[in-house]
Chain A
């Protein structure tokens, strides 16, 4: 690449400024929507990462189980490779928790002499084992143990969350793929049109002895610059929407504050635009026959 190629590319961009501006804006819109899609996938993923921490299994113990049996059972469960943490909740603790959670309505418990609540274990699993099939197998093992009355965990919840997560991820990736192909096509068709418009000039360059790369270079630069500026516009739009607008709103709508926007993603937009612009132009130019 020489200063001549760069000057030619800039002159070419300026000469066809309207079509180039439209293409650049199309690239910007495409990349912006792609970014929104990526952010959704990213956030779904980060929720999916946190889910195992929230997931717990409650094991209810039979009434009248001895302290020694309780201790033995706790030890057995703790030694299982699935288990990250196990905590014992006595009948009294359970009642106190219930009262706490009922708060002002705690009077409904008045008049109950016997504590009807069972003692229980609350089990947190290791991250890798929070999976519908594995949890089911584990729950089966526990339930079969002596002294265990019942076991409860969000079976339905777990499997539906899992399928939503994987569905969302797949849909997101397909959507992103389609959008990127769209952006690539914008670059491709713009450069193709520019190339056709300059068919005479290209023919003259060939007859003067220019090599294929000499002819291609200004077009490749034009495609790359359009992609870069499209990416830059998408970055500015993304920065405006996510960093300024959403941050302003998060004080009144706290949920917005949980929406994560990795700045590396936004910062990589101009580079991504440049790469897509260059690739689109390269495909559009193809082989140049002498």
Chain B
């Protein structure tokens, strides 16, 4: 589903990712771990083409994306749901509107938008907060809204950047249950985290990054 071949990314002379080669199978749940600045976020950004690599090739769902034309990028991103580390919720819009945005971008009919947004909000336990604004929600609740927005349109890949960042263990466990749930329906998931508790005893593949290089691979 995702294949990196010798991919390197440099920011102003600083190597963020060096010669990375790895694959993620369809329906897999992969963890990427490593200390801050190891290149986890860069790796995810390369997948949804927020940045382009200097070297190497990236193939997503059978399509080369590293040298893709700008006008094809929106279509690529519509196949990928992203749980951003900084959330990127629109503060002037309600929770419902924030989640619905992901479907409106895909030109979904209004009835379908309503049905799917409400169902997804129910899944993340926030149906009762549909009319609230992001600022009125706790960090854990906002995190779940971002997850809802990432999965509402049934993307083939979900990327999550530190999805349990500052959350307490109980909330973090709840969020992981949501990821397992959507993964069990066949969605490929890549989670970048430095929280060992997330992948410990899961039996999932864990890719270790260190200073921009792939330092090894384990099973959680």
Contact = CB atoms under 8 A, between A and B. Distances in A.
Decide if the interface of chain A is mainly helix, strand, loop or mixed: helix
A207 B70 contact: no
Given A11-B92, A201-B90, A209 B74 contact: yes
Interface residues on B, range: 20 to 34
Task: Select the residue from B73, B76, B110 with max chain A CB neighbours within 10 A.
Answer: B73
A209 B88 CA distance: 14
B74 A211 contact: yes
B71 A205 contact: no
A208 interface: yes
A206 B82 CA distance: 12
Contacts of A50: none
A205 B105 contact: yes
Interface residues of A, number: 20
A208 B83 CA distance: 10
Contacts of A205: 101, 105
B75 A2 contact: no
B145 to A, nearest CB: 13
Interface in B72-114: 73-80, 82, 84, 88, 90, 92, 101-102, 104-107, 110
A210 B74 contact: yes
B104 A207 contact: no
Interface in A50-71: none
B8 to A, nearest CB: 22
B71 A207 contact: no
A90 interface: no
A17 to B, nearest CB: 14
Nearest to B105: A210
A18 interface: no
Contacts of A204: 88, 90
A37 B179 CA distance: 66
B45 to A, nearest CB: 9
A290 B71 contact: yes
A4 B49 CA distance: 27
A2 B105 CA distance: 11
B199 interface: no
A286 interface: no
10 contacts: A201-B90, A205-B105, A207-B50, A208-B102, A209-B106, A210-B105, A211-B74, A212-B74, A290-B49, A290-B74
Interface of B: 48-50, 70-71, 73-80, 82, 84, 88, 90, 92, 101-102, 104-107, 110, 149
Interface of A: 2-4, 11, 15, 200-201, 203-212, 214, 289-290
Given A206-B74, A209-B80, 14 more contacts: A15-B92, A201-B90, A203-B88, A205-B105, A207-B48, A207-B82, A208-B77, A208-B102, A209-B75, A209-B76, A212-B74, A290-B49, A290-B70, A290-B71
